[in-house]
Structure 1
Amino acid sequence: MIRVLLVDDSPLALHLLQRVLASTPDIRVVGTALNGREALPLVASLSPDVICLDLHMPVMDGLEFTRAVMASTPHPILVVSVSVEPGGSGVFKLLEAGAVDVLPKPGVLEADDAGFAAEFAVKVRVVAGVRVFRRRLGPPAWSPTIDLMKAGPAKLAVLGASTGGPQALKQILGALPTGFPLPLVCIQHIGGEFLPEMLTWLGQTTPLAIRQARAGEYPEPGSVHFPPADRHLEFDRAGRFLLTCSPPFGGHRPSVTVSMNAAARQFRDGAVGVLLTGMGRDGADGLASIAQVGGLTIAQDEATSVVFGMPGEAVALGAARHVLPLEQIAPTLMALVKNDRRASTEN
């Protein structure tokens, strides 16, 4: 039985979320609170498996509460909140503080939707299985055992992620320098309501340009391109972006595998695939496609993954040429482009 603590300043929201979870036999709401200050003693006394938390609350808001919990008795936190105003980044500050994942808060009618109930239950189950602790990562480390000469000159990298992905992307993109010459495409499973906010948040932490891809445009060096909500990102024969409404692949649109398959077809051994933390197996087959055409493939290792589902599936397929801790991925990408420059100079 997964024990859940709900924290929200709206009694109606608490009622709706309780009603949704009441229909799920393996999940039980063990407590509710109207703000962070009310919730703190309940965390200690109830020891819930998951805390479902709103951002905007009086007395003690979600960010202050998350910081307090993670500093004292870390527990898995699922943010259930409305997206804030355009240009804000409040929800993602909670992820930065230690929350695991985000879910759009439903309206009165949406709460009775079977799709929301199923998604909410899945998120709770995944977050309940996360080991939360105060991780202290060391400085970026480079492993000399990685052989970059087997890949062709890099033309584009596709990074894919789900649960824990925003935090992982923040660390990778924040470590890449101004003028990084490789175009990047990022496929992150997240509610479309949160996409603009996530792009704003990431843009505050990296010198690279963070933007939504536009159909017909070429991927630009030094830019990080995200597909619009509910669109697959592929490439035409000239290498320009195609944004499609093709059916979801493996339940996802955008899909990591769809974009990696497209990159393998278009850029061959110049494609680079990076599969990060996330639930499920989206991206595993796509990483295999890049590996099959001779491109460089990287999977995040289990120790630094919030959820080892997606990278673990790629490792099981033999699709990941390298399995790296999160802090080594950005240095690997930088070494790759440096290696390409050296090779082109020598030729």
Structure 2
Amino acid sequence: MIPSSQSRVRVMVVEDSLVIRQLLAHIIARDPRLIVAATVASAEEALQEIGRVQPDVVSMDIRLPGMDGLEATRRIMAERPTPIVVIADSIEDSSLKISMNALRAGALSVVEKPVGVTSAGYDAIASTICTQLYIMSQVPVVRQRSFSWRPPTNPPRSEREDLWASARPALMAIAASTGGPPALAKVLGAFPADFPIPILLVQHMGAPFMEGFASWLNGLTSLDVRLAQEGEVPAAGRVYVAPGDRHLALSSTGALRLSADPPIGSQRPSATYLFRSMAQFAGPRGIGVLLTGMGEDGAQGLVEMRQAGGYTLAEHESTAVVYGMPAAAVRMGGARASLPLDLIAPRLLGLARGEGE
């Protein structure tokens, strides 16, 4: 059954190129879940029209005449919070940096810009754009609210967890999805350059953007952030980001392993794949962290890490942009602690330094 026009997701397209604007409108119009509510050629026009149009989601170009997409995102999120999906050219470094900063400013995801109906990969790109617009339209974006937070009552420690207290941590794995880039920037940006253990990182994002994401994150933290390489031995003070469309795992030798194994829960890289390897090969010397994100990826892996004696932590509902992945971890018993974003870095720094909780 095709949804009525009243029940379809209303999309505002912000794109200065007439050709791309028409192409995006064509792509959106073909999807029965979506309807084009408006197309505009500038950020200024978008800000002027958004109150009248009242879109459910905005498709935002980054390179615009006058005000760019980053500033437009900031203004929309401050004045009329609306889910925003960034449509970006994945080639240019400057465009990538603006795209990542737009995520930090409140945009929910970034997807590759279509070139033309005859270009390679057009159907896949078009499908990704529509799916992201539909999914992100469901995210309840609001101005950041104040919250009252109390630490949850921790369950009794198991014998494996008591063993953890005497084993200095050797490695940390951290994962996020929707809302992840700003959360990761906040957590990793609080760590000093002499952070004593390596960090393995999974962020759900389109493959073409992963190198730019790692570079952007590298500029926001004292740590050395890079894409993970097969066989690399992780070193303290470095962050190893799972590359696009490959699982990242710890191997039995302690080196990094990249895998083309099938996706887990439609995700590759998968947080559960990484956490599972940490449970197997780091055991009680591993720390697992699950931040904001849709779905349940990472929850089962965090359960396995906790069962192996590792320290596991999930972002608290009060700060998560999407309380999906961390909620699943808490529900399944995988999170030993649940903390709001501001308290996560101090806790992790203390644990990494062997100071306990």
Q: Structures share a fold, TM > 0.5? A: yes
**Who is 1:286 aligned against?**
301
Displacement after TM superposition at 1:25 (Å): 2.3
Displacement after TM superposition at 1:81 (Å): 1.2
1:104 has 2:119 as partner:
no
- Letter of the 1:263 partner, please give it: M
**Who is 1:256 aligned against?**
271
- Letter of the 2:306 partner, please give it: A
Given that 1:178 and 1:208 are in contact with CA atoms closer than 8 Å, whether structure 2 keeps it comes out as yes
1:130 has 2:139 as partner:
yes
Cα distance change on mapping 1:35 and 1:68 into 2, 3 Å: same
* Residue range with higher mean Cα deviation, 28-37 or 72-81: 72-81
SS in 2 for 1:278: coil
Within a 5 Å distance, the mapping from 1:1-347 to structure 2 comes to: 1=7, 2-86=9-93, 89-109=97-117, 113-135=122-144, 151=164, 152-338=167-353, 340=354
CA distance in 1, matches of 2:347, 2:189: 14
What do the CA deviations read for 1:190-249 (whole angstroms, capped 9, x no partner)? 112111221121112111110122222211111111122222112222111111222222
- Letter of the 1:60 partner, please give it: M
- Letter of the 1:323 partner, please give it: S
Displacement after TM superposition at 1:113 (Å): 4.5
* Residue range with higher mean Cα deviation, 227-236 or 107-116: 107-116
CA distance in 2, matches of 1:206, 1:145: 32
CA distance in 2, matches of 1:342, 1:75: 41
Displacement after TM superposition at 1:111 (Å): 9.3
Aligned residue pairs: how many?
340
CA distance in 2, matches of 1:120, 1:113: 11
SS in 2 for 1:28: strand
Structure 1 segments unaligned to the other structure (5+ residues) = none
Displacement after TM superposition at 1:149 (Å): 5.9
CA distance in 2, matches of 1:150, 1:26: 51
Displacement after TM superposition at 1:86 (Å): 3.4
Displacement after TM superposition at 1:176 (Å): 1.1
Cα distance change on mapping 1:183 and 1:137 into 2, 3 Å: farther
Displacement after TM superposition at 1:114 (Å): 4.4
CA distance in 1, matches of 2:298, 2:210: 20
CA distance in 1, matches of 2:336, 2:68: 43
Identity of aligned residues (%): 39
SS in 1 for 2:73: helix
CA distance in 1, matches of 2:43, 2:190: 33
CA distance in 1, matches of 2:228, 2:318: 32
What do the CA deviations read for 1:253-284 (whole angstroms, capped 9, x no partner)? 21111111111111111111111111122111
